[in-house]
């Protein structure tokens, strides 16, 4: 068989080549914003509104007191919100790409909507509210310290629903993105009680729905965006379940992964080179939330089949689902196509699903429900900078 040898040789010897992707820039897009806390900790970033995603943040840099500033994220946005009705009466909608968090849906905010904060405008409209808030104890031991956080929030009215997108930047380097669901119930006439809740005075059934928030987090740790690695950390229980043994595995190719309580699985994005000056290498880890709804995927779509996807940066991979396909594949499950993640520009796609079962309390106004998660520095510093 004359072709077998070349095949073997090729597959063993192929030197991986750089496809020609548009290189991600180091420049901010939009307007610069920064916050320096009294402690000397500071955050620097840029923000711009886009038609689909609404507010997109770029070049997010954190500086701890008496430490150098380092970039954390090259770009970060809520890349897609897919909403599915319990009764399946309408095909799932992609609110980000089919309606948009930006454009006219991005609400103009007035001073009352930004109490104690500062409004920021784009195209003459105030759309972003920046607020400094107390966070309570930063730590308490023999002494205690009260911490602060800096919050950027915007609101988008999409049909009957109103979404708040809120980014919290803590003094200690923690980033907490949140999606707040409010507004009015989208459909109050489900075909059967099992698809909702008879929350209406008329006895009509308000239809339940699931919002799948698909976040895109382009990590570019420190100066080089192209030398990051993904590590999966698990702690395997012994047979008698009295002990756990940690193992760290580098994820070398693009993949979709799931949380797993049994092994306490989590991931961190680590710079390929930089150490914290001590024994650790600088990284950020993902702390999820809404585990209790995390397997919601009634249409069994591949982009909702994993909690987290890790891909290599590709400029046209913008939306985790319903991505424009002119130059690119359509969703994050297809973005995963065996490209290397080793010393690359890593993009983390985190899916957070929240199912809303209406209640009488929602029949005129949905009380805001927040769904949040955290990005936590791990060994970013050799010790607690405070």
Partner 1 sequence: MKSSVYAYAATALLALGNCLPNSVQAAEFCADQYYVEATLPNQSRWDMCWEHRNREGIVLHNIHYTPKNGTRRMVLYQAAVAQIHVPYDDNGARYHDVSDYGLGGNYMSALTAQECVGGQLLSYSGKNVLCQQVTPRDDAYSVDNDRLQGDALSLFSVAAIGAYNYIPQWRFLDDGAIEPSIGATGALQRFGAANIAEHGWLLESNKVGIAHLHNFFWKLDFDLGGTGNDDAVEEINYTQNAGKLTRANTPFTSEAARSVNPATLRSWRVMDGSLKNSKGLALSYEIQLPESVQRDVGPSTEPFTHNDFYVTKQKSCELFASHNPTTNGCAENLSAFVNNESLGGQDIVVWPSTTFYHMPRAEDAPRMDTHWSHIRVIPRDWHDKNPLSTSAETTADTTPPPPPPANGTVSNNANGISVNGNLNDWASLTSFGRDPDDVSGTNNKLNWLEAWAANDAERVYLAYQTKGNIDTSGFWGYQAYVDTDASTTSGYRTGALGADYLLEGANLWRYTGNGTSWSWAYQGRMTSQTSGTAAEFSFPRSWLGNSSEFRLLFWGNNAAFGGDAKDVYPDGAFNTASTTRYFTYKMYTPTSTGTATSISNPAANLSINGNLSDWNSLTSFGIDPIDVAGANNPLDWQEGWLAHDSSNVYLAYRTFNAVDTSKLWAYQVYFDTDSNSTTGYGNGAVGAEYMLEGRTLWRYTGDGDSWSWVPQGSTTNAFSGQTAEFSFPRSWLGNTTHLRLMFRGNNAVFGGTTEDVYPNASANPRYFAYRFQ
Binding residues for partner 1 restricted to 46-75, rule: CB under 8 A: 50-52
Q: Is 173 left (phi over 0), alpha (psi -120 to 50) or beta?
A: left
- C-alpha 70/C-alpha 162 separation (Å) is 34
Considering the rule CB under 8 A, would residue 215 count as an interface residue with partner 1? no
Considering the rule CB under 8 A, would residue 376 count as an interface residue with partner 1? yes
The only residue of 20, 27, 68, 124 in contact with partner 1, by rule CB under 8 A: 20
Considering the rule CB under 8 A, would residue 379 count as an interface residue with partner 1? yes
Residues 182 and 361 sit within 8 Å (Cβ to Cβ): no
Considering the rule CB under 8 A, would residue 292 count as an interface residue with partner 1? yes
Question: What residues contact 37, with CB distance under 8 A and at least 6 apart?
Answer: 132, 148, 150, 171
Burial 29-50 (b: 16+ CB within 10 A, else e): ebeebebebebebbbbbbbbbb
Residue 249: CB minimum distance to partner 1, A: 14
- C-alpha 274/C-alpha 166 separation (Å) is 30
Of 298, 256, 289, 306, which is closest to residue 375 (Cα–Cα)?
289
Residue 314: CB minimum distance to partner 1, A: 9
The only residue of 32, 69, 121, 243 in contact with partner 1, by rule CB under 8 A: 243
The only residue of 74, 186, 313, 345 in contact with partner 1, by rule CB under 8 A: 186
Residue 374: CB minimum distance to partner 1, A: 10
Residues 267 and 283 sit within 8 Å (Cβ to Cβ): no
Q: What is the DSSP letter of 95?
A: I
Residues 294 and 353 sit within 8 Å (Cβ to Cβ): yes
Considering the rule CB under 8 A, would residue 124 count as an interface residue with partner 1? no
Residue 27: CB minimum distance to partner 1, A: 20
Considering the rule CB under 8 A, would residue 119 count as an interface residue with partner 1? no
- C-alpha 355/C-alpha 362 separation (Å) is 14
Segment interacting with partner 1 (CB under 8 A) among 27-35, 65-73, 111-119, 222-230: 111-119
Map the footprint of partner 1 across residues 325-354, applying CB under 8 A: 325-326, 328-329, 334, 337-339
Considering the rule CB under 8 A, would residue 320 count as an interface residue with partner 1? no
The only residue of 119, 251, 273, 296 in contact with partner 1, by rule CB under 8 A: 296
């Amino acid at each position: 068989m004359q072709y077998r040898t070349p095949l073997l040789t090729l597959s063993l010897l192929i030197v991986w080549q750089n496809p020609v992707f548009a290189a991600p820039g180091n420049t901010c897009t939009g307007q610069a914003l920064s916050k320096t806390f009294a402690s000397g900790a500071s955050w620097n970033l840029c923000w711009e509104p886009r038609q689909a995603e609404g507010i997109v943040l770029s070049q997010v840099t954190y500086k701890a007191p008496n430490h150098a500033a380092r970039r954390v994220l090259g770009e970060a946005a809520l890349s897609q919100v897919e909403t599915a009705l319990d009764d399946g009466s309408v095909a799932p909608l992609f609110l980000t790409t089919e309606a948009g968090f930006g454009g006219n849906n991005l609400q103009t905010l007035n001073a009352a909507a930004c109490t104690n904060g500062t409004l920021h405008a784009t195209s003459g409209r105030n759309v972003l509210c920046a607020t400094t808030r107390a966070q309570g104890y930063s730590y308490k031991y023999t002494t205690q310290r009260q911490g602060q956080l800096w919050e950027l929030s915007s609101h988008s009215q999409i049909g009957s629903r109103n979404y708040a997108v809120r980014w919290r930047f803590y003094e200690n380097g923690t980033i907490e993105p949140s999606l707040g669901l409010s507004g009015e119930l989208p459909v109050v006439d489900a075909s059967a009680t099992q698809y909702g809740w008879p929350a209406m005075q008329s006895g009509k059934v308000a239809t339940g729905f699931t919002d799948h928030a698909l976040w895109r987090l382009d990590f570019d740790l420190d100066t080089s965006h192209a030398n990051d690695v993904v590590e999966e950390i698990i702690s395997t229980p012994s047979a008698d379940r009295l002990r756990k043994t940690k193992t760290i595995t580098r994820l070398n190719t693009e993949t979709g992964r799931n949380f797993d309580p049994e092994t306490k699985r989590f991931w961190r994005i680590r710079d390929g080179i930089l150490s914290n000056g001590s024994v650790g290498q600088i990284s950020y880890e993902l702390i999820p939330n809404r585990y209790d709804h995390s397997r919601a995927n009634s249409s069994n779509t591949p982009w909702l089949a994993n909690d987290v996807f890790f891909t290599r940066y590709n400029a046209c991979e913008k939306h985790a689902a319903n991505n424009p396909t002119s130059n690119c594949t359509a969703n994050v499950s297809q973005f995963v196509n065996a490209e290397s993640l080793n010393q690359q520009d890593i993009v983390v796609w985190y899916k957070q699903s929240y199912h809303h079962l209406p209640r009488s309390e929602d029949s005129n106004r949905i009380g805001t429900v927040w769904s949040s998660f955290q990005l936590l520095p791990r060994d970013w510093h050799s010790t607690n900078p405070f």
